[in-house]
Amino acid sequence: RAGVVGLQTALSLLEAGYGVIVVAKYWPGDKSIDYTSPWAGAHWRPHAAVDELELQKYEMATFRYWTEMVKKVPKEECGVTILPDTYFWDSGNPETISALWWPNLIPNIRMIPESDLIPGTTLGMMYHSFCIDVPMYLDYLVGKLGDLGVKTITAEVDTLEDVFELPGIEDDVVVGMVNCTGMGALNLVPDEKVYPMKGQTVIVKGRAKQITFRKGEGYVAYVVPRIGEEITVLGGTQGVRDWDPEPNSAVTEEILKRCKAIAPELLNEKGEFEIIAVQAGRRPSREGGPRVALVKHAGGKFICHNYGHGGAGYQSSFGSAMEVVSLVNGFLGRK
């Protein structure tokens, strides 16, 4: 799957001076519930818990990477821009903020006055964050890979080792493989810790004025505008180990109901959203968090894993890719 983690990892390796061949079953433009990246919201919002230091490192590295990228690349080209981002809690308090690891690292954070909180919430915070138009960003990464002369192979394999035997793979030249197969790692590694986290979103007409996220008891709601179109993504769900490929109509109604309070500017004269599409994807999650690790393989080769990011694929993509570069450099004795 040529998802955001795999594409960014390939790009980072190329920029580090390695030759790269990208092997994937799905590419940007393809649609499958098992190809998750095109279904994402997406925006930079930390997923790492206070004790998940590696994931924190990946997320902050990506934040800094995008901070520099948007200074150089127009949003119409890369699909990434900075927008106001509001974060509401239904039952938050000052200790809620102090328990987070990231507010002191992000510029321009301010608390929302009680008078400006939306009904039903007790705490709010505003800052500026990255909003990603995912079709544009995936195309941008593919374009960057093409500019650097990457070779691509469209294929499906039964085991990771089969990749070394694919036509076009020169065994005496290839020194290793990076596994960014997402949900595919469940069977290809195999890794029984991998599981799907079903995400369901609703695409509605109109572009929201900002990113908004609301955390309640047992649910989250979010609004993410697509900067390249007059549409907005509404979510969200966390269907742990839910393999059902179809969107659930009852879940759709819950999403619409919860998002009305956080994106009233998108409602029509009847007080409803104008629905364009309902979609579902399987976030490739993993017990214990992402696996970014290098192991020795037969013949002096290596397999470096980078999968299991769940709903944090975009915001951890660059950070985890640079960890892969570091691991490969160490294995090959490069500085």
- Quote the Cα angle for 310-61-104, to 5°: 100
Tell me: pLDDT of 71 over 80: yes
Q: Can you give the pTM of this predicted structure?
A: 0.96
Q: What are 149's two structure tokens?
A: 């002369």
To the question of whether residue 29 is assigned a binding role by annotation, the answer is no
What dihedral do alpha carbons 116, 260, 272, 134 form, nearest 10°? 110
CA distances 204 to 82, 138, 153, 219, 304, Å, are 21, 21, 35, 20, 39
DSSP three-state, residue 151:
strand
To the question of whether residue 37 is assigned a binding role by annotation, the answer is yes
Q: Name all domains of the chain by residue range, CATH numbers in brackets.
A: 4-332 (3.30.9.10)
To the question of whether residue 157 is assigned a binding role by annotation, the answer is yes
Burial of 305 (0-12, 13-18, 19+ CB in 10 A): buried
To the question of whether residue 311 is assigned a binding role by annotation, the answer is yes
CB 231 within 8 A of CB 276: yes
To the question of whether residue 36 is assigned a binding role by annotation, the answer is yes
> CA-to-CA distance for 313 and 142, rounded, in angstroms?
16
To the question of whether residue 154 is assigned a binding role by annotation, the answer is no
What is the average pLDDT across 43-64?
95
> CA-to-CA distance for 217 and 220, rounded, in angstroms?
8
Q: What local confidence, expressed as pLDDT, does residue 1 receive? A: 77
- pLDDT tens-digit readout, 137-168: 999 999 999 999 999 999 999 999 999 999 99
Beta-ladder partners of 211: 85
What is the average pLDDT across 286-299?
95
To the question of whether residue 222 is assigned a binding role by annotation, the answer is yes
Percent of the chain clearing pLDDT 90 (strictly above): 91
